[in-house]
Amino acid sequence: MQLPQDSPKHQGQRMQLVNLLKEKGISDPAVIDALAFVPRHWFMDAGLAAHAYKNKAYPIAAEQTISHPYTVAFQSELIAIKPGDKVLEIGTGSGYQTAILRAMNAQIFTIERQRELFKKTQRLFEQLGLRPKKYLLGDGYLGLPDDAPFDAILVTAGAPFVPKALLSQLKIGGRLVIPIGNDPQIMHRFTRTGEKTFDKETFGEFRFVPMLKDKS
Ligand code: SAH
């Protein structure tokens, strides 16, 4: 199947966005390269493509949103992954964050609970030849016990509390990055320091759609 277009105009707008994100403090070269590489407009509805390189969230399907580029960049930095790391993403949504993590050469396991969105993004992944290790319709609160442990787990929806299952599926040294609370959420990073011990850090306010239980 034919790839969607990525014109010089889109590339120019993308570089401007990357420069803006650098000004806002994004500095990890692997994250910057991935943001410069992945066409964000491929993950948005054609009618919104003209806005793809603004630092804004936009509707995708099923009342969900593609995250702000800054939020995607910030979370991608916080999980601090190396090439080959096993990463679990909760909330595949448009697949944009998934594509950024793939571009950083991580092995991606990703879960979406919304059936309509799951199918839409599945078609896009096929069209782009973007193959996560696993892409599942399911409830991210449960994580993926059969594939655990993970080097990093990234939650891209606002959680009311820290799901215990996700903490238990981290390797020692692994990181869980998760926005917690009600509108707005506080970005948290938990690092597993031992069998039963975790470090907790917080990184300010963000706004996400809610993390909901069960498949829709
Ligand atoms: N990373 C995505 C973010 C989409 S918004 C992007 O940038 O496009 C958050 C997504 O999390 C939504 O698609 C929502 O349906 C999904 N979600 C919410 N609760 C979930 C859960 N318990 N398990 C899996 N996905 C969930």
The pLDDT tens digits of the residues spanning 158-211 come to 999 999 999 999 999 999 999 999 989 999 999 999 999 999 999 999 999 999
Q: What is the pLDDT of residues 19-63, one digit of tens each?
A: 999 999 999 999 999 999 999 999 999 899 889 999 999 999 888
Closest CA to 41 of 63, 14, 68, 16: 14
- Return the pLDDT at 66: 92
Distances (CA, A) of 50 to 8, 14, 60, 98: 13, 11, 14, 21
Is 67 one of the catalytic residues? Answer: yes
Q: Walk me through the domains of the chain, giving residue ranges and CATH numbers.
A: 8-206 (3.40.50.150)
> Does residue 90's CB lie within 6 angstroms of at least one atom of ligand 1?
yes
CA 117 to ligand 1: nearest atom: 13
- Return the pLDDT at 134: 98
The answer to whether 91 touches 157, Cβ cutoff 8 Å, is: yes
Q: Does residue 3 register a pLDDT over 90?
A: no
Distances (CA, A) of 30 to 33, 82, 88, 108, 165: 5, 9, 18, 16, 29
> Does residue 140's CB lie within 6 angstroms of at least one atom of ligand 1?
yes
Closest CA to 43 of 102, 83, 88: 102
Residue 196 Cα to ligand 1 middle (Å): 28
Phi, psi of 163 (to 5 degrees): -65, 125
The protein residue with its alpha carbon nearest to ligand 1, atom 4, reads: 93
Beta pairing class for 86-90 and 150-155: parallel
The dihedral built from the CA positions of residue 26, 11, 37 and 89, taken in this order, carries a sign that is positive
